[in-house]
Each structure stands twice: as C-alpha cells, then as structure tokens.
C-alpha cells in the first residue's frame, strides 16, 4: 500500500541576503511571502523515497550531494532515494557556495546555513513521520497563455547556446518549443490532509 507524508518549513533568508536573477546585484529588503522548503515522503512498503523542494533559484550539485548525505544519515532513507529540487525563482537566493557567473554577490552566511541545512533534515524527518495511506491522482492541462520560454537557441554557426542574450544578433531561433503544460499530482490520504 502506498503511503505519503508531507512537511513544510519557512527558510526565508535574512534581510540583506543577495538575491539571484535579473543580471544585477539585488538584496532582500523585505519579505512579501516566505521562502519555503517542502518535503514529500513516499513509502510503497518496500522502500522509502523523499522529494525535497525549496523556493530558491537553484541548488548546486555539490550542495545537493551534501544535503542528500545529511538527510540520508538523519532519516535512514538511502541518498539515491532522495531528490533535491529548486523552483528557479529569481526573487530568492541560489545555494551553490560560489558566485553565479552572472552575479557578483551570493549568500555567505554561516549561521543561516547551519539552520537551513538542519531544516532540510527536519523537513525530511517530519514528512516521514507524517506518512499515511494514500491514493495518487494525476492531471495535466495546457495553459491558455505561455507559461515559460525556451532558453536554448540555435545560433548562426549551427551551435546551440543557453542564454546567449536576448538581443544577440547571432540567434536564429529557439532550439525547441516551450512546454506550457501544468502537471499536478494529488495524494488523497486516509486520516490526514490531502497533499
């Protein structure tokens, strides 16, 4: 029988933290909505899996490996059964431990990192503690207006480049078509709230 569990924690960085995106340095000067970390735990009776998503622009590979190892140690779920995702939103931080090539500044706050890494572990443990029998439903629909755009372009020399600059005269066309489908999964749980 499939079981699903969920947890959500606030991981909003401190004011003054450098924000990623828009090709210039920006710093958090207020909070409109909290930055959240969500964990989904799945158990099919034979194994457990964790999907952890955070409202950051991105999480670098080295950091993902470290987080997976820490979560595995804290929960007993093997690291290869743990996925870390970020939403790629540009009103948050990136978590890579180094500057992005497009930006000069990046978050370097050891006290925040100590709490943040612990919250990744806590959210995973809380999601596992919240496991309840569940039924999975899925749905998909196209958006009436474009939801995204392709960042990879075919260039005049035949190469394909990511983010070559919106005004680059060497762009021939997008390398692919934008996917504007919205896909949803819902877990209806016995004796607990739906996810």
| 88-105 pLDDT per residue, tens | 888 888 887 666 655 557
pLDDT at 97: 67
pLDDT at 67: 96
pLDDT at 153: 95
pLDDT at 100: 60
pLDDT at 186: 94
Long-range contacts of 110-118 (CB under 8 A, 24+ apart): 112/13, 112/14, 112/17, 116/11, 117/66, 117/67, 117/70
pLDDT at 103: 52
pLDDT < 50 regions, the chain = none
CB proximity list for 110: less than 8 A, separation 6 or greater = none
Question: Hunting for tokens 């489908």 — which residue is that?
Answer: 181
Could you tell me which of 123, 117, 119, 122 has the C-alpha nearest to residue 40? 123
pLDDT at 21: 75
pLDDT at 93: 87
pLDDT at 26: 87
State the Cα angle at 187 between 178 and 92, rounded to 5°. Answer: 50
């Amino acid at each position: 029988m499939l079981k699903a569990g969920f947890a959500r924690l606030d991981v909003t960085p401190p004011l003054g933290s450098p924000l990623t995106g828009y090709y210039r340095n920006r710093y958090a000067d207020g909070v409109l909505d909290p930055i959240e970390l969500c964990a989904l735990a799945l158990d099919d009776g034979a194994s457990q899996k964790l999907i952890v998503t955070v409202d950051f622009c991105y999480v670098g590979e080295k950091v993902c490996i470290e987080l997976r190892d820490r979560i595995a140690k804290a929960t007993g779920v093997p690291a290869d059964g743990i996925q870390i995702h970020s939403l790629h939103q540009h009103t948050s931080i990136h978590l890579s431990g180094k500057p992005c090539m497009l930006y000069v500044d990046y978050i370097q706050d050891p006290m925040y990192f100590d709490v943040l890494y612990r919250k990744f572990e806590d959210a995973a443990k809380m999601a596992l503690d919240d496991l309840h029998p569940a039924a999975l439903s899925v749905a998909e629909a196209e958006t009436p207006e474009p939801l995204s755009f392709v960042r990879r372009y075919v260039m005049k020399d035949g190469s394909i480049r990511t983010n070559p600059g919106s005004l680059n005269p060497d762009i021939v066309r997008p390398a692919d078509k934008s996917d504007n489908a919205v896909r949803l999964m819902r877990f209806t749980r016995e004796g607990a709230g739906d996810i």
